[in-house]
C-alpha cells in the first residue's frame, strides 16, 4: 500500500475542486481525480455557460428571483443570494486565470436561456465554455507551487479519524493498488450522480461516489429526491448520452413527436421554452410509451446562428446525422443533482475535517430545480469560498483510526451497475409513483443482499440509491424535478420558510 500524508486533500478536479485548491494557498494541497480531469468531469462537458448578472439592466435581485422561481419555493434564499452576489467576482477571477469569455462591442456578451428574465449567460469559445474554464483552471493550478495534482486514483472511502472526524481517504490506483491518504482537511468535489441512471449526460466519473462515501460516514444530506433530467440528449447507445444544448430551442429549434406534430403544443404556455422539468417529462412519457421524439434544429443550422453551436453540430455529425437537413432523435437523460451533502456558508459539512463543494454539495441554492447555468457558478463561487476558509483556518492534526481497508474494489465500474441503473430508471425518472418507488426500493435491497463483501463501492451506491428512493417516497407532492403521479400537486406546507 502506498501512503501519502498531506495538509489538504481535495477529491475531484472539476471547477469546484480546482477553485478550492487554488484558493487554499498557502496551504499544501493534494488534488486527486479518478481519471484525467479533461476526460472525466462534468465541468469539461458544460456547453451552455455560466450565469452572472452582468448585462445592461440586469441585477443580482433579478437572477435571485429567477433562481428561487426555478427552485419552486424550496431554495435556501440566503444561500442563493450569497452565491449570486459573488457571481461578478467569480467571472473576474475566471478571466484572471485566462478564461476568454466572449465579448461584444459593449462589453460581456450575455445570452438568454430558459428561466432567466435577462440575458446573463456567459460563454467562452461558443458552446465549449466548460472545457475552456477547466483548461484555464488546470493550467493555473499547474503553476501554483502549493498544489500537486494526482490523477488515476479513484477514492473509495473516507478515513474515519480517532475523534469521529474525517482524516483523509483511501483510494485505488489504475493497477488496483491501494493508496492511503492522511489529511488534516478533506474536501469532496466529486460532482454528480447521473451514472446511477441508465441514460445520463454525466461522464463516467459521476456515479455519486463522493456523496455515497459521505453518507456512509453519517454526513447530513438533503434534497436527494431532486434529480434534474435534461430533455434533449441525443438518442444513441453511447454512455454518456451526448447533450444537445437547450440554447438550440432558445434559438428556434423545436420538438416533434412520432407523427411529426409539435410535442410541446398544448403542454405548456411557453411551448418548447417551457421549464426543463416540464419538457423532460413530456419526452420521458413518450419514451415510456415506446414512441420516439425528435429535435428539429434545421431553422437554427440553416441560419446565421449555426456558428454559435459548433459542439452540437459536431455531436450530430459524429453520429452520422445532419441537423441542418433533418430532425435528430433525442431522449431525456439524468443530468444534474440538486441535493447533496449539506454544507454551511463556508463549505463545511457536519463531519469535522470534511468539506464539500460543487455538485456533490447541497448549499440549498437550487431547491427542487436548478436554473440553467447556475451550477458552474455555484461550483466556482463555493469552491473558492471553501478554499479561502481553509487558507484562514489553522490546521488540525488528525489521525486515521484503524479500519478495514479491503482489497482493490472492482465494483467501481459504472457498467457493472446495470441492474441498479435499470431500477433507478424505472422508479426515479422524471415521472414517479408510490408503488413503483416501493418496488424499486425492494429490488435495490435484494441487489444489496447479493453483493460480495468486498464490493464496497457498489454497496455504497446502493445505499445512496435507496436513500434517494426513500426521499422520493417521503415527499408526497410534486415539486420541480420531483413529479409524482399519485401526488400531482405542490404541498404549500412543504415550502421553504
Ligand X SMILES: Cc1cc2nc3c(=O)[nH]c(=O)nc-3n(C[C@H](O)[C@H](O)[C@H](O)COP(=O)(O)OP(=O)(O)OC[C@H]3O[C@@H](n4cnc5c(N)ncnc54)[C@H](O)[C@@H]3O)c2cc1C
* Interface with ligand X in residues 113-142 (CB under 6 A): 130
Least CB distance from residue 41 to ligand X, whole Å? Answer: 3
Q: Does 480 bind ligand X (CB under 6 A)?
A: no
Q: Which is nearer to ligand X, 48 or 353 (CB)?
A: 48
- Residue 147-186 contact track with ligand X, rule CB under 6 A, x = bound: -------xx-------------------------------
Nearer to ligand X, 311 or 437 (CB): 311
Q: Which stretch binds ligand X (CB under 6 A): 44-52, 288-296, 319-327, 437-445?
A: 44-52
Shortest Å distance, C-beta 257 to ligand X: 24
Q: Which residues within the stretch 311-340 sit at the binding site for ligand X (CB under 6 A)? A: 336
**Residue 178 Rama label (left phi>0; alpha psi -120 to 50; beta):** beta
Is-contact 153 12, C-beta < 8 A?
no
- Is 398 catalytic? The answer is no
CA atoms of 226 and 482, how far apart (whole Å): 6
Whole-angstrom Cα distance, residue 110 to residue 53? 9
Answer for the pair 494, 477: CB distance below 8 angstroms, yes or no.
Answer: yes
Residue 264 grid cell = 410541446
Binding mask 229-248 for ligand X (x = CB under 6 A): --------------x-----
**Member of 9, 376, 385, 472 binding ligand X (CB under 6 A):** 376
- Nearest CB to ligand X, comparing residues 194 and 327: 194
Q: Spot the catalytic one: 128, 249, 276, 461.
A: 276
Is residue 3 within 8 A of residue 168, CB to CB? The reply is no
Q: Quick one: which of 165, 209, 296, 308 contacts ligand X (CB under 6 A)?
A: 209
Residues that bind ligand X (rule: CB under 6 A) add up to a total of 43
**Smallest gap from residue 433 Cβ to ligand X (A):** 27
Nearest to 75 by CA among 64, 88, 59: 64
Per DSSP, the three-state class of 420 is helix
Q: Which of 40, 138, 187, 362 binds ligand X (CB under 6 A)?
A: 40
Per CB under 6 A, 198 contacts ligand X: no
Strands 178-188 and 354-356: parallel
Binding residue for ligand X (CB under 6 A) from 45, 170, 293, 458?
Answer: 45
Do 247 and 48 form a contact (C-beta atoms < 8 A)?
yes
Strand 293-296 relative to strand 328-337, pairing: antiparallel
| Maximal C-alpha separation, the chain | 65
Q: Is 6 in the site for ligand X (CB under 6 A)?
A: no
Least Cβ distance, residue 377 to ligand X (angstroms) = 6
**Shorter beta-carbon distance to ligand X: residue 40 or 437:** 40
Helix (H, G, I), strand (E, B) or coil at 383: helix
**Half-sphere exposure at residue 376, Cβ-oriented, CA atoms within 13 angstroms:** 29
Which of 168, 178, 210, 440: binder of ligand X (CB under 6 A)? 210
Q: Candidates 41, 75, 389, 411: give the one binding ligand X (CB under 6 A).
A: 41
How distant, in Å, are the alpha carbons of 201, 296, 326 from that of 472?
Answer: 22, 34, 39
Closer residue to ligand X, CB minimum distance, 202 or 389: 202
Q: Could you tell me the smallest distance in angstroms from the CB atom of residue 91 to ligand X? A: 12
Q: Can you name the residues that pair with 108 across neighbouring β-strands?
A: 103
Q: Between residue 9 and residue 28, which ones bind ligand X under the rule CB under 6 A?
A: 11-17
* Interface residue with ligand X, options 315, 375, 389, 471 (CB under 6 A): 375
* Part of the chain binding ligand X (CB under 6 A), chosen from 204-212, 260-268, 288-296, 297-305: 204-212
Euclidean distance between CA atoms 140 and 195, whole angstroms: 29
The DSSP secondary structure of 131-188, one letter per residue, reads HHHHHHHHHHHHT-TTEEEEES-EEEEEEEBTTSSEEEEEEE-TTS-EEEEEEEEEEE
- 201 makes contact with ligand X (CB under 6 A): yes
Contact between 365 and 379 (Cβ < 8 Å) = no
Residue length of the chain? 497
Distance (Å) of CA 64 to CA 67, 94, 334: 5, 21, 25
C-alpha cell at 60: 443580482
- Kind of pairing, strands 178-188 and 2-11? parallel
Residue 43 contacts ligand X per CB under 6 A = yes
- Minimum CB separation of residue 48 from ligand X in Å reads 3
Q: Which residues pair with 348 in a beta bridge?
A: 355
DSSP 8-class letter at 161: B
Using the minimum distance from each CB to ligand X, give the nearer residue, 213 or 427: 213
Interface with ligand X (CB under 6 A): 11-17, 32-35, 37, 40-43, 45-50, 130, 154-155, 189-191, 201-202, 205-206, 209-210, 243, 336, 358-359, 373-376, 379
Active-site residue numbers? 276
Amino acid at each position: 500500500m502506498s501512503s501519502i500524508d498531506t495538509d489538504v486533500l481535495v477529491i475531484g478536479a472539476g471547477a469546484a475542486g480546482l477553485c478550492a485548491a487554488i484558493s487554499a494557498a498557502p496551504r499544501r494541497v493534494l488534488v486527486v481525480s479518478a481519471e484525467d480531469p479533461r476526460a472525466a468531469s462534468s465541468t469539461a462537458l458544460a456547453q451552455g455557460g455560466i450565469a452572472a448578472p452582468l448585462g445592461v439592466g440586469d441585477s443580482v435581485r433579478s437572477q435571485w428571483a429567477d433562481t428561487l422561481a426555478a427552485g419552486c419555493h424550496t431554495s435556501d434564499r440566503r444561500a442563493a443570494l450569497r452565491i449570486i452576489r459573488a457571481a461578478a467576482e467569480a467571472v473576474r477571477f475566471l478571466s484572471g486565470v485566462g478564461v476568454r469569455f466572449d465579448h461584444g462591442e459593449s462589453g460581456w456578451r450575455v445570452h438568454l436561456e430558459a428561466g432567466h428574465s435577462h440575458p446573463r449567460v456567459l460563454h467562452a469559445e461558443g458552446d465549449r465554455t466548460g472545457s475552456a474554464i477547466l483548461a484555464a483552471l488546470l493550467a493555473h493550478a499547474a503553476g501554483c507551487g502549493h498544489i500537486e495534482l494526482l490523477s488515476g486514483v479513484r477514492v473509495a472511502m473516507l478515513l474515519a479519524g480517532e475523534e469521529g472526524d474525517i482524516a483523509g481517504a483511501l483510494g485505488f490506483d489504475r493497477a488496483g493498488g491501494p493508496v492511503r491518504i492522511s489529511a488534516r482537511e478533506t474536501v469532496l468535489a466529486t460532482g454528480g450522480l447521473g451514472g446511477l441512471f441508465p441514460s445520463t449526460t454525466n461522464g463516467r466519473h459521476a456515479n455519486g461516489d463522493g456523496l455515497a462515501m459521505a453518507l456512509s460516514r453519517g454526513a447530513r444530506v438533503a434534497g436527494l429526491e431532486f434529480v434534474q433530467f435534461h430533455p434533449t440528449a441525443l438518442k444513441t447507445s453511447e454512455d454518456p448520452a451526448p447533450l444537445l444544448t437547450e440554447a438550440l430551442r432558445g434559438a428556434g429549434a423545436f420538438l416533434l413527436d412520432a407523427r411529426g406534430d409539435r410535442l410541446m403544443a398544448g403542454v405548456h404556455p411557453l411551448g418548447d421554452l417551457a421549464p426543463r422539468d416540464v419538457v423532460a417529462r413530456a419526452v420521458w412519457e413518450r419514451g415510456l410509451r415506446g414512441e420516439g421524439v425528435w429535435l428539429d434544429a434545421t431553422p437554427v443550422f440553416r441560419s446565421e446562428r449555426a456558428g454559435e453551436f459548433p459542439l452540437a453540430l459536431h455531436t450530430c455529425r459524429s453520429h452520422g446525422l445532419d441537423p441542418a437537413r433533418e430532425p435528430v432523435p433525442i431522449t431525456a437523460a439524468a443530468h444534474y443533482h440538486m441535493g447533496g451533502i449539506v454544507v454551511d456558508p463556508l463549505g463545511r459539512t457536519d463531519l469535522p475535517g470534511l468539506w464539500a463543494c460543487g455538485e456533490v454539495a447541497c448549499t440549498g441554492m437550487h431547491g427542487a430545480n436548478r436554473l440553467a447555468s447556475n451550477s458552474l457558478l455555484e461550483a466556482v463561487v463555493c469552491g473558492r469560498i471553501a478554499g479561502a476558509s481553509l487558507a484562514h483556518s489553522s490546521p488540525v492534526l488528525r489521525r486515521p483510526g484503524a479500519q478495514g481497508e479491503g482489497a482493490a474494489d472492482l465494483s467501481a465500474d459504472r457498467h457493472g451497475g446495470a441492474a441498479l441503473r435499470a431500477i433507478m430508471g424505472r422508479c426515479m425518472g422524471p415521472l414517479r409513483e408510490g408503488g413503483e418507488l416501493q418496488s424499486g426500493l425492494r429490488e435495490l435491497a435484494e441487489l444489496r443482499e447479493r453483493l460480495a463483501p468486498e464490493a464496497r463501492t457498489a454497496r455504497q451506491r446502493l445505499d445512496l440509491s435507496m436513500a434517494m428512493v426513500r426521499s422520493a417516497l417521503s415527499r408526497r407532492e410534486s415539486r420541480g424535478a420531483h413529479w409524482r403521479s399519485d401526488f400531482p400537486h405542490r404541498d404549500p406546507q412543504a415550502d421553504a420558510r
